[in-house]
Amino acid sequence: MKIRDILKEKPVTISCEIFPPKKDADFEGVVAAARGIAALHPDFISVTYGASGGTSQNTVKIASMIQQEMGVTSIAHLTCASSTREQVREVIGEIRSAGVENILALRGDIPTGADFPVPNQFRYASELIAEIRAGGDFCIGGACYPEGHVECASREEDLDHLKAKVDMGCDFLTTQMFFDNSLLYRFLYRAMAHGITVPVLAGIMPVTNSKQIRRITQLSGTQLPMRFLTMLDKFGDNPAAMKQAGIAYATEQIIDLISNGVRGIHLYTMNKPDIAAAIFQNLSHVLGREEA
């Protein structure tokens, strides 16, 4: 099913992200994680794409398994910064052949020291979106950044580029993770003022590992509010307590988002079905999913 239709039909959606294995030896472990998450009946599962393009086979394979064998709609991420246009077109063909109808179209991070863009590369996600839109009837998602993308000179400029990306044919957007909901609310108002009217799914990461989150947020420029930092300081060295606190923090964030009218939550589940299950359990009535 196309995600744009799911978003139209349901008052609130909850979806999950998984990442494919870096080594083939880990393939079965990722499939098991996907099965665990699929058993929770999320509205869809997204499968990320390796920055170097190296895991493209696994992305398509796992997205296809989620849909065909596990019965959950899937979306394959696709990046273009490390590939030629021909390579990207080949992967789009593989996604189509696998019966996956949804693509999250991304530029990807520019590999360190790379000469980018070289001729015959898509330079921005908007160019990739135009290519996918021209080639077939996919539902297309894009990325957005409530705190602005790290490379962009200003948030205004970033929103101008986002508007151009949506105009190229994006059906919906998913946000970078954020830990302060007021940043999302401000972003949503500003996006609306820029004429961006497609659904925006709020990307929420339940944090269960303090070192990992400090590293990720340093790279992405995501702010960590004092309340969140205090929690990391207090529980960061106690994995069981950190897990409980991280799940509680994400749960609270989601309750506030839904209370304020946000209609789509995307969980960065880091291939951990137990954490996704705890959040689904905490929110069963809030999400109206008592039966799922």
Q: Which active-site residues does the annotation give?
A: 17
If the CB atoms of residues 49 and 280 are measured against ligand FAD, the closer one turns out to be 49
C-alpha closest to that of 48 among 152, 203, 244, 255: 203
Q: What's the min distance (Å) between Cβ of 54 and ligand FAD?
A: 11
If the CB atoms of residues 126 and 210 are measured against ligand FAD, the closer one turns out to be 126
Question: DSSP letters along the chain, please?
Answer: --HHHHHHH-SSEEEEEE---SSGGGHHHHHHHHHHHHTT--S-EEE---TTSTTHHHHHHHHHHHHHTT---EEEEEE-TTS-HHHHHHHHHHHHHTT--EEEEE--PPPTT---SPTTS--SHHHHHHHHHHH---EEEEEE-TT--TT-S-HHHHHHHHHHHHHTT--EEEEPP-S-HHHHHHHHHHHHHTT--S-EEEEE-----HHHHHHHHHHHT----HHHHHHHHHHTT-HHHHHHHHHHHHHHHHHHHHHTT--EEEEE-TT-HHHHHHHHHHTTTTTT-TT-
Is 270 a binding residue for ligand FAD by CB under 6 A? The answer is no
Applying CB under 6 A, among 43, 131, 147, 158 the residue interacting with ligand FAD is 158
Is 83 a binding residue for ligand FAD by CB under 6 A? The answer is no
From the list 118-126, 130-138, 178-186, 237-245, the region that binds ligand FAD by CB under 6 A is 118-126
Is 53 a binding residue for ligand FAD by CB under 6 A? The answer is no
Is 271 a binding residue for ligand FAD by CB under 6 A? The answer is no
If the CB atoms of residues 221 and 288 are measured against ligand FAD, the closer one turns out to be 221
If the CB atoms of residues 67 and 174 are measured against ligand FAD, the closer one turns out to be 174
Stretch 191-230: interaction string toward ligand FAD, x if CB under 6 A: ------------x---------------------------
C-alpha closest to that of 29 among 21, 17, 40: 21
Q: What's the min distance (Å) between Cβ of 59 and ligand FAD?
A: 8
Applying CB under 6 A, among 89, 124, 225, 286 the residue interacting with ligand FAD is 124
If the CB atoms of residues 1 and 216 are measured against ligand FAD, the closer one turns out to be 216
Is 269 a binding residue for ligand FAD by CB under 6 A? The answer is no
Is 171 a binding residue for ligand FAD by CB under 6 A? The answer is no
Is 149 a binding residue for ligand FAD by CB under 6 A? The answer is yes
Residues of this chain that bind ligand FAD (CB under 6 A):
48-49, 51, 77, 79, 104, 106-109, 124-126, 143, 149, 151-152, 158, 161, 165, 174, 176, 203
